[in-house]
Structure 1
């Protein structure tokens, strides 16, 4: 019996040209390069130029992913964008990207699960592609986090960067086993009782339409991160009928090097299997997983046939994981 799955056939990314070093932040707030490196592992981050918006970053990443998949924009029939920083309240950033890419009319919408957004968006796209409702889907994580940072708050402004990552999903047939190419399994979770741990303090119905800035109880988020992420990974692995030992590459959300290390240790994953870009990208929220994935593909580490595990935790609190055979 043949089994339909959705396979990642192309990966792409984009990072704005402007780079902010830790020393740049030391001139803004009471911090230092040593303090930031020691607590987060971050050395620099990218910042969007004036006038450069989320859809611009998303389009640039999408073009790279489409080229990698050997696809043209007019073949795309579904666009899902994971973002916390949309161009505007509405229409969706996905609809703007559809126009800018020249994609024909088809489904296009945004998903908001903050840093977990890319995994959430991938799971939604899998429902379309694996059921035969989409032949060529673009899933993009794109953020301009710099626009919602409080540059007087050293606990948050140093953590985030701007960027976009994208993947192309296409249907493939398999045997219904873990050896199939494609998305094997997911785990998605949210605990809305913890919304006060990580949030933006403004919006359409608050503070006279002020966009707001990121507020975070960092120690509490860290406390939940390793446990909840590990839990999601173990669940996704079980649903995929694989084991942690089967994983070729671990591509986590790039929040903090200590969290990456803690999760890898808890799962018993060899550090050599972890793709880490947090040092040079910082936390790009929904863009961080596809950007790290793109880096792993570009430098030749991640190859066709590899088993990739992705995970994230973000505001909500949301957390998610997925296993994908390339």
Structure 2
């Protein structure tokens, strides 16, 4: 089989960076009152800046597909003719602009130069971007493709805006209940960001400069053991199953803000770290990779709250990764879901820090129903 290399990495971040003081300027206040959870969430997640694909007035500036396509175009910079060589496009997101057609074909529609090629659209949440990467990697490794592009993007701000919750708040107030949204709905408003990233995946490394050889990618799901934790377009029943938006009336969708993103934070906290770290260590042991074989550790974090939890659990498992090996840009780029790992690797790739022979461990968790993808790369 062919060796596989990431030869180019690019990103697209919409508009200017937004600091925490301006979040409710963009997203609005619910029931005319500042969020009670905002300060708590921001203190824990450690995010200082993020990007929104909308103006201060709430007007959209980009579609999800447009951002993904712009990140793909950025791979080739001043040489757009290179787009004609692309023979596979795999694009992922947890926030497509529509249920049909698929996200990836919408991105393809923004890239007419690529011609008629294979297009794949993995679904999912944070792991979806890694699944797109894995499909591109396998296609090149098998010799089926030679110039694959994978991309991941998110545009979640439209569902984070306060007007999506006003009707529910009004209904709760009329029932003389607490007119503050459940923490499971509100806290995600201060966690998420928009943007896109892309990899160029080929069977040969760059003639000049560095490339990243993909040694392996491993994925696992624990959905057979655990109920859904994060969900959208559904609501959770008492038995842990989900009731689909298709089974609600139009008014019920509004009354319960069913199309908002929800998270079972108790289920998250008791499972996300130990499941992911245990599986990662098991995979590394199977592959014969020890702590001395890792120069950079890139964990996708939804919040810096989990950084110390992961570090402590790694130490408990006698697999300590010292602080200088960790690399994340959550603080400055925000949590961009499926695109986060692309933005992290893009920043490290262009930082000037990497030298040939360095080895990079990637770890991407997905709390939606507890899935994980791990990757191991070598700088060549």
Give TM class, smaller chain. 0.7 to 0.9
Task: Name the structure 2 match of 1:146.
Answer: 157
Q: 1:44 aligns with which of 36, 41, 49?
A: 49
CA distance in 1, matches of 2:247, 2:79: 43
Counterpart secondary structure, 1:196: coil
Counterpart secondary structure, 2:2: strand
CA distance in 2, matches of 1:170, 1:185: 15
Counterpart secondary structure, 1:186: strand
Runs of 4+ residues deviating >6 angstroms: 68-71
CA distance in 1, matches of 2:91, 2:261: 21
Is 1:184 aligned with 2:215?
yes
Counterparts in 2 of 1:25-40, with a 5 A limit?
Answer: 25=23, 28=29, 29-31=34-36, 35-40=40-45
Task: Name the structure 2 match of 1:168.
Answer: 200
CA distance in 1, matches of 2:349, 2:78: 10
User: How far off is 1:155 after superposition?
Assistant: 1.5
What residue ranges of structure 2 are gaps of 5+ in the alignment?
Answer: 55-59, 166-184, 206-210, 235-243
Counterpart secondary structure, 2:186: coil
Counterpart secondary structure, 2:114: coil
TM-score when normalising by structure 2 = 0.75
Q: What do the CA deviations read for 1:226-253 (whole angstroms, capped 9, x no partner)?
A: 1122133224423543223211211221
Task: Name the structure 2 match of 1:299.
Answer: 351
Is 1:201 aligned with 2:233?
yes
Counterpart secondary structure, 1:133: coil
TM-score when normalising by structure 1 = 0.87
CA distance in 2, matches of 1:239, 1:105: 40
Structure (1 or 2) with the larger CA radius of gyration: 2
Task: Name the structure 2 match of 1:134.
Answer: 145
- What is the aligned residue count? 318
CA distance in 2, matches of 1:214, 1:7: 35
Is 1:320 aligned with 2:373?
yes
Q: What do the CA deviations read for 1:243-287 (whole angstroms, capped 9, x no partner)?
A: 232112112213111223332441411222222211122211100
- RMSD of equivalent CA atoms: 2.7
User: How far off is 1:181 after superposition?
Assistant: 5.9
CA distance in 2, matches of 1:156, 1:33: 9
| Greater strand share, structure number | 1
CA distance in 2, matches of 1:134, 1:207: 44
Counterparts in 2 of 1:131-280, with a 5 A limit?
Answer: 131-149=142-160, 151=162, 153-172=185-204, 182-192=213-223, 193-202=225-234, 205-207=246-248, 212-265=259-312, 266=314, 267-280=319-332
User: How far off is 1:96 after superposition?
Assistant: 2.2
Q: What do the CA deviations read for 1:111-169 (whole angstroms, capped 9, x no partner)?
A: 11201112222222222110000111111111102133364643110010011111111
Counterpart secondary structure, 1:223: helix
Task: Name the structure 2 match of 1:117.
Answer: 128
Q: 2:87 aligns with which of 73, 77, 80?
A: 77
Q: What do the CA deviations read for 1:193-214 (whole angstroms, capped 9, x no partner)?
A: 5343111134663445868111
Counterpart secondary structure, 1:194: coil
Native 8 Å contact 2:7 2:212 kept in 1: no
CA distance in 2, matches of 1:131, 1:246: 26
Task: Name the structure 1 match of 2:361.
Answer: 309
Counterpart secondary structure, 1:157: helix
Is 1:108 aligned with 2:139?
no
1:307/1:67 CA distance change after superposition, 3 Å: farther
User: How far off is 1:43 after superposition?
Assistant: 1.8
CA distance in 1, matches of 2:248, 2:264: 21
1:187/1:97 CA distance change after superposition, 3 Å: same
Native 8 Å contact 1:143 1:284 kept in 2: yes
Task: Name the structure 1 match of 2:2.
Answer: 4
CA distance in 2, matches of 1:69, 1:269: 40
Native 8 Å contact 1:36 1:42 kept in 2: no
Native 8 Å contact 2:233 2:245 kept in 1: no
1:37/1:156 CA distance change after superposition, 3 Å: closer
CA distance in 2, matches of 1:324, 1:15: 25
